[in-house]
Chain A
């Protein structure tokens, strides 16, 4: 019963009510301005329905935010009520309830982000497994089952397109939330802050994702959409109602991106411990900073481009319709201006995690710390000048192509710096291989594969063959797995004792790694190969004459194995969080400040601030401390009892 009083449940109820009210409100406004609210003409009726639903869904999302209670303090402040400076949780409520409602502690928000992220990655993965089953052999053999027709009411081709499009966007939302989880949980603890700079905004940034993700996934039930995750007009202007759900859902998740990024930037610049200069921060903080700068400056663009598509759909404004003076390529420029930097948003934190873990498990300093830190900013900067490499075949102005080719190939330089630094870090170390290290090394190899498959896509002549083939799919799955998924799991294993105070099962962790890594290698190399041979992207059925049915079967089997390995990992986490052996101390013998306070971390991380006196990665150097941790912080403090178990 207490669960029903949590913010999440209240928010969901408010969203349902808000959606209905919003639809009625839209209808009322249409009546007031003299527009029809129903029509006998099927096409017009469809358009009217769309306007009503869009109005309802937007109001519903706002209602969710009100219902969950994240706006309470702001609204109270606006009404002139005194501000409640104490943002501690209510001690009369049990601890688990903090995770289902509004809580301002960055560690709780980090966990909320993380769990939502894993849920979304699971949904996206399930979709992938569904359409991979269809692709296991040529011919339409699986998605044309009656069960899908009965459940969703669309035919196999449309179902495939919808699953494929949603897989892309749901996974991307999952990535963004996963990054939010890492940044929120780690950054304040690493720089010696007790919380983020704007705790209320932080909570808002998380909760706006929930209606966003719900609306995004609900597009399945609003007729789906068949444009891929990129949603190029004019196709997206003609797509069914599900397109609108997709646009609004992504818009809200993007809002969260911007709000979260502001928070991280301000936190890093203003809340570092005494003595922690920029070049003494743990390297992950640099990665988080570079990521946030991209999110903060680029995300508006996808919001804008999606807004234009919505306006085009709702009011027929003709931004992309040449007959009305628009330009069909305009959208692609706007979209990729965000979406290329966005892929660096997904990989930079992951590369930061790799840089963070290798020194710990090699017991050596991170080689060339400054160069690695600067290469993150370099990637972020260059990322803004390469967007048009997604459009070499799109028919944009020909003179733009060569400069974009130069810029694109230039990305290899800062990325190369990272690789060489990692290798130099491993060289002559004392390597140990617990699960997080395996995942970090596995990421290096997979991300390398993603990296070296970039140049053929970067030079225009070869890209004219590879564009829109499975080679591209293989390339970016390499970069996404090597740059996000594997490091994300490395981070989950590595900080698991920090979060729970217990140890995961090393044996299951290693099973997970080898199963996932091996399967992924099969999957990605298979994709690269069929792409070279002429397999187009986003097709439900391929020509058996091309002769890669067997490779597709292997890819499908590998996809299932990856899905299975993730289930194994979740089993490991859930079981270990309850019954694992206790791991309270500095499990990995790390120099990083978050390991010098108790696990799980107390409510306010550092009751007494620590002081930084040395370099973060001086492994192998005698008598060179990084932080001086006051006794009160190192042992936890009086409040720790009140927080109970995390």
Chain B
């Protein structure tokens, strides 16, 4: 009996120590969304359960190891106890109870995490190997005084604080997964068109800069499939949306620069002369380029145009085919392509 008292005290002490450590140590990222509050609350329940069960078994095992070891010169066997039905029923029934309670809690937290807000902002998310693109719908006042809807495309996810956002996600090629660790929730992004659009709801509650990290292995550059997330005040968000809505009415070069960032070109093509996943744009125009088959061509306007709409036609030596998305002819208007080319030409 005295053994059980000692072990009981040790289990309690160990549970308290481990539980307090797990619930207070900085083992989770920043908590930056309403959903994260719920998830972390459930995490804390788990930490206490883990603390208790880990302590229970470990303390018993270690106590047995130190107290019930064969002493020097001891002979014979241990105590003969083959089973105890009552005890076994108890230690089967109690875990079943715990499991059922935990599952109920699990279901209710899931409902909490997926709660819908009628006032939510909708953002379309397009994932393709290895770029994120986000599309907003903005209301624009035309010169004629009508309100029309236009799409705003960007490579940075800008979100207003304290308003739920519905991300409607689709993939162009393979399965990706949208995850911002600070928001705690993730959702795979599936290819296959409208039928396979999946939604994720997030309510950011802390201003700051975060990163979307693709969480489902999607091929070679999976590790680098990141995108910036900016959580800003609602006023700032509205201003940003208004600024980016509508046609680009700047000069060709400035518009080209805008498309190059919003369509994710600069994720792979640097403007500084460094080679990234793709060749740099700095000083590209007018220079000779060695292709993968050894031939040399001059990077003229035609070459630039071909490289945008049919990237696999002429692969620069040292780079790989099949990396750059091949649907820019569909995604961009001819005007946008010309503006991007103008921007590249200006980079000397």
Binding site for B on A (CB under 8 A): 155, 157-158, 161, 226-228, 232, 234-235, 238, 321-323, 327-329, 362-371, 393-395, 401-402, 405-406, 409-410, 412-413, 416-417, 419-424, 426-433, 441, 444-445, 448-449, 451-453, 455-456, 458-462, 464-465, 467-469, 529, 532-534, 536-543, 615, 617-621
For residue B39, give the distance in angstroms from its CB to the closest CB of chain A.
Answer: 5
- B223/A429 in contact, CB under 8 A: no
Binding site for A on B (CB under 8 A): 3, 27-29, 38-39, 42-43, 46, 49-50, 53-54, 57-58, 60-61, 64-65, 68-70, 74, 76-84, 87-88, 91-92, 95-96, 99-100, 102-103, 105-107, 109-110, 112-113, 173-175, 177, 179, 181, 184-193, 195-196, 198, 211, 213-224, 226, 320
- A323/B106 in contact, CB under 8 A: no
- B99/A619 in contact, CB under 8 A: no
- A620/B80 in contact, CB under 8 A: yes
Q: Which of B28, B69, B223 contacts A539 (CB 8 A)?
A: B223
Question: Cα distance A424–B64 when bound, in Å?
Answer: 10
- A461/B42 in contact, CB under 8 A: yes
Complex interface: chain B residues within 8 A of A460 (CB): 106-107, 109-110
- A455/B29 in contact, CB under 8 A: no
- A322/B58 in contact, CB under 8 A: no
Question: Cα distance A469–B190 when bound, in Å?
Answer: 19
User: What 9 A-B pairs have minimum CB-CB distances, sorted nearest first?
Assistant: A322-B192, A534-B181, A459-B106, A429-B78, A539-B223, A620-B77, A364-B78, A363-B77, A620-B80
- A405/B103 in contact, CB under 8 A: yes
For residue A331, give the distance in angstroms from its CB to the closest CB of chain B.
Answer: 10
Q: Which of B61, B81, B222 contacts A365 (CB 8 A)?
A: B81
- A465/B96 in contact, CB under 8 A: no
Question: Cα distance A453–B53 when bound, in Å?
Answer: 11
- A157/B223 in contact, CB under 8 A: yes
Closest residue of chain A to B54, judged by CB?
A452
- B64/A431 in contact, CB under 8 A: yes
For residue A408, give the distance in angstroms from its CB to the closest CB of chain B.
Answer: 9
Task: Please name 14 further chain A to chain B contacts, defined as beta carbons within 8 Å, in addition to the given A157-B221, A232-B216, A455-B49, sorted by A numbering.
Answer: A235-B217, A329-B190, A369-B83, A393-B177, A413-B95, A426-B65, A428-B78, A430-B70, A455-B46, A456-B46, A459-B110, A460-B110, A461-B39, A462-B42
Q: Which of A228, A410, A419, A433 contacts B69 (CB 8 A)?
A: A433
Known A-B contacts A409-B99, A618-B82; the reply to A322 vs B107 at CB < 8 A is no
For residue B209, give the distance in angstroms from its CB to the closest CB of chain A.
Answer: 10
Known A-B contacts A401-B110, A456-B46, A461-B39; the reply to A423 vs B74 at CB < 8 A is no
- B217/A322 in contact, CB under 8 A: no
Complex interface: chain B residues within 8 A of A227 (CB): 217
- B76/A416 in contact, CB under 8 A: no
Known A-B contacts A234-B173, A456-B46, A540-B223; the reply to A430 vs B74 at CB < 8 A is yes
Known A-B contacts A465-B39, A539-B223, A619-B78; the reply to A459 vs B65 at CB < 8 A is no
Question: Cα distance A424–B79 when bound, in Å?
Answer: 11
Known A-B contacts A329-B190, A448-B57, A452-B49; the reply to A362 vs B43 at CB < 8 A is no
What are 15 contact pairs spanning A and B, CB under 8 A? A226-B220, A232-B217, A234-B191, A322-B191, A367-B84, A402-B110, A405-B106, A459-B103, A460-B109, A461-B42, A464-B187, A468-B179, A533-B27, A543-B226, A618-B80
Complex interface: chain A residues within 8 A of B42 (CB): 459, 461-462
For residue A540, give the distance in angstroms from its CB to the closest CB of chain B.
Answer: 5
Q: Which of A161, A417, A444 contacts B220 (CB 8 A)?
A: A161
